[in-house]
Amino acid sequence: MQPWQWPEAHWRGIVEHVRAGRTLRPASWPGGARCAIALSFDSDHETNELREGGESIGKLSQGQYGNRQGIPRILGILAQHGVKASFYVPAVTALLYPDEQRRVAAEGHELALHGWIHERNSVLPEAAERDLMLRAADVLEKLAGKRPVGIRTPSWDFSPSTLKITREMGLLYDSSLMADVDCYELLLDGEPTGVVELPVEWIRDDAVYFNMNRFAGLRPYTPPADVFDIFRRELEAAHAEGGIFQLTMHPHISGYRSRIWILEELIRHAKSLGNVWFAAHADIVRHAKAHAQ
């Protein structure tokens, strides 16, 4: 049948399989802060090419830039401003660059799951998805010294089994979905799971503004100053509402000299607004869950 022929029970079942539940908005943030700042970095590196079965040396070198230049620049800015953040790391990235992950963890940042090889988890069979998630958690635990408590799926999407596996693994939170700007509890077939969503949005992701396809007509169309303006407006609105400003950046995309200033200027601007709390996603989720109104 075509979608327009589906009976109501069918389309309702699709919509209600994974759903946003109760909002987890705290009455206040730690230290009386008005706004929580959740900076995150998806350390995809070479896995964007590998997950497609690609062997382009040019694309792999672009991914390697994330390790050689992107991560050091990012960590330097975070250290300079005393800011903690979350790094979502595919297991293959972690295995390629174990010292990078050890440094990230040693500097007090969160290491969290981002798949095995940045696979398209939303199309995987349940057994394969579970195996990759478990093996990825083992890799990060070995490098960081503690097991990750959060996940950002490589597809920024769920398969029908993703939430079930996430709950089975005892993970505290996910950061892949987009139903709100505040944290919320995820429902599975109408039942609360205890898993918290700290939502993302493509609007607050550098990749959509800067990515290009070498062999097609797609080229970056948004100047860095305009990207900063979009992020700044999101930040100011979050501050005005007393909520969360969540941002996703990629070391191999924003780690360039003409773009990295966006991160530093956002940090400075957030501090100029006053009463902000910079924290890892896991810490924001814990606070929101414990102090929800």
pLDDT of 169: 98
CATH, residue 243: 3.20.20.370
pLDDT of 174: 98
208 inside domain: yes
**Does the pLDDT at position 214 exceed 90?**
no
Average pLDDT over residues 150-171: 97
Number of Cα atoms under 13 Å in the Cβ half of residue 181:
16
pLDDT of 18: 98
59 inside domain: yes
**Does the pLDDT at position 215 exceed 90?**
no
177 inside domain: yes
38 inside domain: yes
Average pLDDT over residues 168-184: 98
**Phi, psi of 248, deg, nearest 5:** -120, 125
9 inside domain: no
- The per-residue pLDDT of the chain, averaged, comes to 96
Cβ burial of 232 (10 Å; 0-12, 13-18, 19+) is middle
Average pLDDT over residues 55-66: 95
Domain that holds residue 151: 18-291
1 inside domain: no
Counting the structural domains of the chain, the total is: 1
